[in-house]
Structure 1
Amino acid sequence: MKRLVYAAAGLTALAFAPTGAKAEDASWGCQVLLCAASQNPTWQGVPYCVPPMKKLISAMSKPGFDWPICHEANAGEPGREVFEECPAGSQPASSSNGDDHAFRDEKDLCVRIVDKCKDRSEFHRLYGNDEANEQSRITLEVIGSGRDDDFWNQDNGCKVKVTSPRPRRADPWFFDIPNDKGVKERFWFNLRT
């Protein structure tokens, strides 16, 4: 909360520099930036922010849309990251099921290799319920040595590739806004009405 107050104060000072200026007098780009940076409440809970953000959402669907920029804040256009980081020990991976996700090279899965033989009870607790795995869209693939006659290989059947959907961000858009020391701070937001 403290960092929002500092960022908003700095942004407000930049955007509304003339004495006596009001928030309503700010450029549309500065209104959008200030509203997107609102965290508690989010822009949806700030009456002043609803009109400029709805205007933005409507404009985004039109051909030739250009993001409104707040030049005074040196923040530029927002970034967008649809997915959260994968859980520790997992790596992002792309779907390979042949649908249009694969063509976008979207890393929408988390993949990790686990050793089910190290702690069988923990593995069973996490992945032993087939119905729960199916509901969570978790798939398990036993990784063998590749040789049927390699009975004594300790890795044979112990390593399992666990694939799960990558968590999606509730707030996929972000602005990197410089604070009063010039260090950029990231503010996440969404465009849901």
Structure 2
Amino acid sequence: MHRVWQFSIAAIMSTATLSSLTDRAAASEWGCEVLLCASSSEPSWRSIPACHPPMHRLISAMNRWGFSWPTCPEAGTGKPGYEAYEDCPAGWSAASSFENHGGRQQNICVQVRNICDSRSSGRAGCEQTVTMPRPLRRDPYFFDIRQHDGNVTRHWFNLRR
């Protein structure tokens, strides 16, 4: 009886391990599909019918509790980066409109202008701070992919259907 029980435990463990490896392989395959589709820029993944199933699956999965980004270990990438805002125009600096409220996202662009003429510059009240909303990126997600020569290429994408 003891031997049968040991055999059953060993069979269950083997099945569980095989199932786990199969699940990881499927997750890795999905992660690699996502990476290939997301890194396509001309045309974007939305213009490639074969990319619709893995990307729509990703978008749906992101709304579930405990979501974990599918990765592609073979490509050496993890989950993507995310930058919601474009850089501010030249001469402007990124800042947060919520600084006094604990906000950390730099969602505005700020520029300090001299509003006095050259004879009165340096006087108090000659500086004016101007702000504008910081432009949102059309494609806020990115993967950094290392090339064979060691250079890194950044591929931007979005998850709008």
TM-score by length of structure 2 reads 0.75
Q: 1:64 aligns with which of 63, 66, 89?
A: 66
Matches within 5 A, 1:16-95: 27-95=29-97
How far does residue 182 in structure 1 lie from its aligned partner after superposition?
2.5
Q: Percent identity?
A: 48
Q: What corresponds to 2:104 in structure 1?
A: 105
Matched, 1:116 2:84: no
SS in 2 for 1:105: coil
1:103 to partner: Cα distance: 3.7
Corresponding position: 1:161 with 2:160: no
- Rounded to whole Å, the distance in 2 between the matches of 1:34 and 1:86 is 30
* Residue 192 of structure 1: how far off its partner (Å): 0.1
The CA deviation string for residues 46-87 of structure 1, in whole angstroms up to 9 with x for no partner, is 111111000000000001111000111001110000011111
Alignment partners' CA distance in 2, 1:39 and 1:155: 51
| 3-state DSSP of counterpart to 2:64 | coil
Please state whether the residue corresponding to 2:153 is helix, strand or coil: strand
Tell me the distance in 2 between the aligned counterparts of 1:92 and 1:170.
18
In the TM superposition, what is the alpha-carbon distance from 1:95 to its structure 2 partner? 1.2
Matched, 1:178 2:151: no
Aligned length: 133
The aligned amino acid for 1:175 is F
Write 1 or 2 for the structure with the bigger share of helix: 2
Letter of the 1:73 counterpart: A
CA contact (8 A) 2:114 2:121 kept: no
Cα offset, 1:158, TM superposition? 3.0
SS in 1 for 2:129: strand
User: Which structure 1 residue ranges, 5 or more long, are not aligned?
Assistant: 1-25, 120-151
Counterpart of 1:20 in structure 2 is none
Q: Which runs of 5+ in 2 are unaligned?
A: 1-27
Q: 1:56 to 1:166 in 2, by over 3 A?
A: same
- Distance in 1 (CA, whole Å) between partners of 2:80 and 2:121 is 51
What is the alpha-carbon distance in structure 1 between the residues aligned to residue 135 and residue 65 of structure 2?
A: 31
Matched, 1:191 2:159: yes
CA RMSD of aligned residues (A): 2.1
SS at match of 1:51: helix
- Classify 1:155/1:186 alpha carbon distance in 2 versus 1 (closer, same or farther; 3 Å): same
Deviation per CA, 1:133-159: give whole Å up to 9, x if none.
xxxxxxxxxxxxxxxxxxx66534432
From the CA coordinates, give the structure whose radius of gyration is larger.
Answer: 2
Distance 1:116-1:77 versus aligned 2 partners, 3 A rule: same
